[in-house]
Amino acid sequence: MKEIFPTPPPLVQNQFESVRELFTKNVVPSYGRFDLALDHGTGSYVFDVAGKRYLDLGGGIAVNCLGHAHPAITDALVEQSKKLIHVSNLYFTEPQGRLAAELVKRIGAGKVFFSNSGAEANEGLFKVARKFGHDEGRFEILTATNSFHGRTLAGIAATGQDKIKKGFEPMMPGFRHIPFNDLEAARAAISPATVAIMIEGVQGEGGVTPATPEFLLGLRALCDEKKLLLFMDAVQDGHFRTGKFQSFQRILEGVPGGEKFLPDGISMAKSLGGGFPIGAFWIRAPFSDLLGPGTHASTFGGTPLACAVALKIFEVIEKEKLAENARKLGDWKLNELQRLVKKYPSVVKNARGLGFMLGLELAEKIPAFAASEKSAAIQFTNRLHAAGVLVIPAGTQVIRLLPPLNLKPQEAGEGISKIEEVIKSLV
């Protein structure tokens, strides 16, 4: 690494060290953090405390859909905060009602509940499922191997990855895992207690794996046949990231029967607020009134401030045709990554994904990584940081590109050439 990226001068290291020291002393060490302290950003770029610039292709893990410091978000925050930041959900507010209507308009007949995060949105759907099956004694929810559904107790029980559960047993009962994209296994797993199935359209943390059209359509038919609710966790792959509002709309494009597909519930968060915390779940009619007054709540769910920001984001995405941008530029980037896979098979093994949710899978044995205990994904990400690019590892072998939806063509080009530069250093 030294030969191509020199060690930063002491001044830079000292500024970073003083921030790290604050964390070491005061912040719960539950995150494996990179040696980077970020200070500010603009558009697709962020700057660290020493002023070094990074092209942010990680987007805060699929959150910063309009990049950093977007004036429309700043204006929405300022304007709404002058009127009303928060009131209790004991009252009606127009921004929450309008945002719910925007979501219903884009998905289908149903209703929306607002939360603060993705995990909390999923918790709400789990409660809908429990309520739906309650009188028949059905409560079990099937989720996929390698899925990710959040870090709450129900979230880790729902998540199909052992490493997320480890140390927190006993798991909350009522969740079982089925292999992803395997319809027959799903059918075989259904028990008399099963009430719902939840999947991601594109598994994110699990390594950027899209569902097949057959799996989606087959699950819909299976759920109808067995009277199960079909939920999609769109926390990471939703909000136009794949080039359509929902990933299933992109996956099923042009597929016979695809236009009629609709899950029964969808959880959302991340890009919905572009960095301002907000989550939501949509639940299809006729299930949308299952959670009646007094059955579910969240103090901060759907504050006027969060909803005003989310409404503004919809406006910008539509006005600037950012879904089309994610699709076109995403397709271009995927092609480029696939070119790199062909050119450097000893370093990169596979490239996959949809729109601006792309994964680059690294080869198993990269000699330059052998000396370190750290995973290939972490070591590759560290090298990209040194080259001035942020990406997000997924598991041990995959790096994810989840850039802002308004990424520019020349920024996409810059990202690809820096990635190629790092790959070349590993050949």
Ligand X SMILES: Cc1ncc(COP(=O)(O)O)c(C=O)c1O
Question: Which residue in 58, 118, 273, 404 binds ligand X (CB under 6 A)?
Answer: 118
Closest CA to 315 of 44, 11, 95: 95
Question: If you ran DSSP here, which 8-state letter would residue 152 be given?
Answer: S
- For ligand X, the closer of residues 148 and 369 by Cβ is 148
Distance of CA 68 to the CA centre of its chain: 17
3-state SS class at 216: helix
Question: Which residue in 56, 140, 233, 361 binds ligand X (CB under 6 A)?
Answer: 233
- For ligand X, the closer of residues 326 and 423 by Cβ is 326
Residues 137-166 within binding reach of ligand X (CB under 6 A) = 148-150
- Rule CB under 6 A: say whether 119 interacts with ligand X: yes
Per-residue binding string, ligand X, 260-279, x by CB under 6 A, is ---------x----------
Strands in 348-354's sheet, in edge-to-edge order, are 348-354, 357-362, 398-401, 392-394
Closest CA to 58 of 348, 332, 424, 384: 384
Closest residue to bound ligand X by CB: 118
- For ligand X, the closer of residues 127 and 187 by Cβ is 127
- For ligand X, the closer of residues 244 and 418 by Cβ is 244
Give the interface segment with ligand X, choosing from 126-134, 175-183, 229-237, 319-327 (CB under 6 A). Answer: 229-237
**320 is written with which tokens?**
């600037």
Sign, Cα dihedral of 42, 46, 49, 51: negative
Give the interface segment with ligand X, choosing from 88-96, 212-220, 232-240, 411-419 (CB under 6 A). Answer: 232-240
- For ligand X, the closer of residues 115 and 336 by Cβ is 115
Q: In the block, which residue shows the tokens 């001068």? A: 9
Kindly state the smallest distance separating residue 275's Cβ from ligand X, in Å. Answer: 12
Kindly state the smallest distance separating residue 152's Cβ from ligand X, in Å. Answer: 8
Give the interface segment with ligand X, choosing from 37-45, 78-86, 116-124, 255-263 (CB under 6 A). Answer: 116-124
Q: For residues 193 and 347, give the distance between their C-alpha atoms in angstroms, rounded to a whole number.
A: 46
Dihedral pair phi/psi, residue 410, rounded to 5° = -70, -25
Kindly state the smallest distance separating residue 22's Cβ from ligand X, in Å. Answer: 23
Torsion of CA 371, 377, 380, 384, to 10 degrees: -150
- For ligand X, the closer of residues 236 and 382 by Cβ is 236
Per-residue binding string, ligand X, 337-356, x by CB under 6 A, is --------------------
**69 is written with which tokens?**
């410091």
Q: For residues 312 and 73, give the distance between their C-alpha atoms in angstroms, rounded to a whole number.
A: 7
Beta bridge partners of 351: 360
Closest CA to 19 of 6, 41, 35: 35
Q: In the block, which residue shows the tokens 């406006």? A: 315
Kindly state the smallest distance separating residue 238's Cβ from ligand X, in Å. Answer: 9
Give the interface segment with ligand X, choosing from 26-34, 99-107, 197-205, 242-250 (CB under 6 A). Answer: 197-205
Question: Which residue in 96, 236, 249, 271 binds ligand X (CB under 6 A)?
Answer: 236
Computed over its alpha carbons, how large is the radius of gyration of the chain?
22
Kindly state the smallest distance separating residue 116's Cβ from ligand X, in Å. Answer: 8
Question: Which residue in 99, 235, 386, 419 binds ligand X (CB under 6 A)?
Answer: 235
Question: Which residue in 41, 43, 59, 204 binds ligand X (CB under 6 A)?
Answer: 204
Kindly state the smallest distance separating residue 207's Cβ from ligand X, in Å. Answer: 12
3-state SS class at 159: coil
Helix spans in 27-175 (H): 59-62, 71-83, 94-107, 118-133, 153-158, 162-165
Per-residue binding string, ligand X, 28-67, x by CB under 6 A, is ---------------------------------x------
338, containing H or E segment: helix 322-343
Instruction: Please count the residues of the chain.
Output: 427
- For ligand X, the closer of residues 61 and 368 by Cβ is 61
* Count of residues of this chain found to bind ligand X when the rule CB under 6 A is applied: 15
Question: Which residue in 117, 181, 381, 397 binds ligand X (CB under 6 A)?
Answer: 117
**Which residues, 6+ apart, have CB-to-CB distance to 316 below 8 Å?**
66, 70, 72, 322
Sign, Cα dihedral of 81, 85, 91, 97: positive
Contacts to ligand X by CB under 6 A: 61, 117-119, 122, 148-150, 200, 204-205, 233, 235-236, 269
